[in-house]
Structures are given as C-alpha cells and as structure tokens.
Amino acid sequence: MSDDSPHSSNGSSNKSWAARLLQVFTGEPKSREELVDLIQDAEERDLIDNDTKEMIEGVLDVAELKVRDIMIPRSQMVTIDKSQRVEEFLPIVIDSQHSRYPVVSDNKDHVDGILLAKDLLSYGFNLTDDEFSLDKVMRPAVIVPEGKRVDVLLKEFRSQRYHMAIVVDEYGGVSGLVTIEDILEEIVGDIEDETDHEQNDKADIRRINKSRFAVKALTTIEDFNDYFNTDFGDDEYDTIGGMVAHGFGHLPQAGEEITLAGINFKITNADKRRIQQLQVTMPAADSEQGTDS
C-alpha cells in the first residue's frame, strides 16, 4: 500500500504514540510527568476514553500513597464492644449496614477481632445471648502501619484474601481502618453496590425496634415532627442533622450522643463535613408514636 494512503498519517501517528508508550514501559529512564503527558496525549487522540485515562492515573496515584492517606480515621470507625449484648450491638449492624466491624474491648486501641455481618445470618432468629458468642464468630484482625504503601497493601489484600485492616501509628495506637474498597475507589472512583442503592431508596426514617429509629440527617425537621409528633422549630435549620449539630456546638463524630427535648440522638455515621445518619431513641411513653408507613 502506498504511503500516500489517507490512513497512513493516522496509522503513523498511532504507531508513534504506541512506540513512545512502549519505550516508557521497557525500562527507559522516563519521569512520571512524561508518562502522565503520554496518557493525556492518548486521550486527546481518542486512543483511550476519559474513564480509562482517569483509571490509569488512579493506579499511578496509588503507587505514591500511604495507608494514612486513605484510611477511615479512628473517630469514624463503627465498632462493636465485646461486652455488648446482642440487643445492644445488633441495631448498630442494622443501622450502619457495613459488612465488617472491628470488635473492641475497653476502647478502640484494643481490637480483638473482626465481625463479619454475614456470620450472623447462620443464627437466624436464634440470635440471642444464650445461643451467640462474639468469641466464636469473630475473625482475626489484620494490623498494618500507617506508613505502609497502598499498592503493597492491595497485593496483600488479594493474595491473603482479607478485606479490612486495622491501622496503627508508631506507638501502636489504633489510628483508623482501611478496606480493599477504599483502595479500589482511589483507582476507579466511588463504588456503589446494591446496599448503597437500597439505602438511598429507603425512607428517611426507619424503625429499628420499639423505641429506636434510624434517621437520615437530611430528614427535614417538618417530616421529623410529622413522624414523631414533636414540635422542633425549623426557623434556623431545615434538617434534623443541622439541628443536632447546633445542639452539640461542634461537628460531632460517630458515637457521640445528645439529648434534646427528652429524645436521645446518637451519631452513627458522619464525615469531616456533615452528619449523615442518626440513631434516635424516643422516650418510652412516645415510642409507639412513630410508625413506618
């Protein structure tokens, strides 16, 4: 075929780009910046799409991250105390809807193991303190240092087939936890599973038991009042999360509690910017008022 073919210019361009990329991966001394430029160039030439470009860049970024950069901080860890009775920790599992929970004794610096929510299913309706023991079902906890490289940890997650690790600082104190999903999200972006969709579709207020309710922080005060027959004002704040945060006087962390108008509000999920989920415990006399409809 003649070099004057209308496709020859594009083919030559593709080969040129491919040759340059191959050169980078075959040991030639090239900088990370040059590799990023090649990836950007590939997208501009429509050789890869934007999603692929971002994924490749995510892989490069992970190679430079330490566990401390992506871990869930200690203050946001949802844990189960080893001394808790079934009726005390089960609402935490139902409300937070995580798949794994560190089991602690005394405080978060003493992690005895990991509870997998799925291990509770085998007990069915027999999940009582007489039939159940955390010691029998919890798995060993994997401990990793804050300074561990994320790409190395990902390899260990895959090869050793575990999905959560407890992160400790240089003094041995627990500083957070990290999951395989946290690493993958650094590469491919936020991952939503069927649980996330179910949670998004659920009502803002769900009954847990006779007196306890799971309430989304973005529930409007008007809806909260309608459901519980309360009379909280909505002049200053539109949502129940905003009202509760104002009551604390600071942005509360998971596990903090406050009582307003006789109602106990416990933070079950929060990030660095806002409250996300609350556990509301109504006074005994009022617990029959709220019903799911």
Task: Supply 291's token pair.
Answer: 């019903």
Sign of CA dihedral 38, 41, 43, 48: negative
Domains of the chain, each with CATH number or no CATH: 8-48 (no CATH), 68-188 (3.10.580.10), 202-286 (3.30.465.10)
From 259, 278, 265, 282, select the one nearest 211 (Cα to Cα).
282
The SS3 of residue 270 is: strand
From 80, 86, 51, 292, select the one nearest 187 (Cα to Cα).
51
Sign of CA dihedral 239, 240, 246, 248: negative
d(C-alpha 102, C-alpha 79), whole Å: 5
d(C-alpha 79, C-alpha 72), whole Å: 12
| Tens digit of each residue's pLDDT, the chain (293 residues) | 444 444 444 555 555 555 655 555 554 535 667 767 777 777 777 777 777 777 777 777 777 888 988 888 887 788 999 988 888 888 888 877 888 999 999 888 999 999 998 888 877 656 666 677 888 889 999 999 999 999 899 999 999 988 999 999 988 899 999 999 888 887 776 555 544 444 444 468 888 777 888 899 999 999 999 999 999 988 888 899 999 999 998 888 888 999 999 999 999 888 767 888 999 998 865 544 444 43
d(C-alpha 260, C-alpha 38), whole Å: 58
d(C-alpha 269, C-alpha 214), whole Å: 11
The 10s digit of each residue's pLDDT in 117-127 is 888 887 765 66
Question: 């704040």: which residue's tokens?
Answer: 237
